[in-house]
């Protein structure tokens, strides 16, 4: 069992993953809106 000396690294990794996930979702939304405005 490994014990991390600095849990900060784990937190930073988790945050980075969260931000990446948000960006992906945001891009999907943006593309959907763009397609919708093109059809109008």
Structure tokens at 32: 């959907």
Residue whose token pair is 């937190």 = 11
pLDDT of 22: 94
User: What digits encode the pLDDT tens for the residues 1-40?
Assistant: 566 667 777 777 888 889 999 999 999 999 999 999 998 8
Rounded to whole angstroms, the Cα distance separating 33 from 35 reads 5
CA distance 22 to 28: 10
- pLDDT recorded at residue 32: 95
Count of helices and strands (H, E) across the chain: 1, 0
pLDDT at res. 30: 95
Domain boundaries, the chain: 1-40
The reported pLDDT for the residue numbered 39 is 85
What is d(CA 35, CA 4) in angstroms, rounded to the nearest whole number?
A: 46
Q: Which residue is associated with the tokens 């014990």?
A: 3
Q: What's this model's pTM, rounded to 2 decimal places?
A: 0.54
């Amino acid at each position: 069992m490994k014990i991390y000396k600095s849990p900060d690294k784990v937190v930073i990794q988790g945050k980075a993953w969260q931000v990446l996930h948000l960006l992906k979702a945001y891009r999907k939304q943006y593309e959907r809106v763009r397609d919708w405005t093109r059809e109008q």
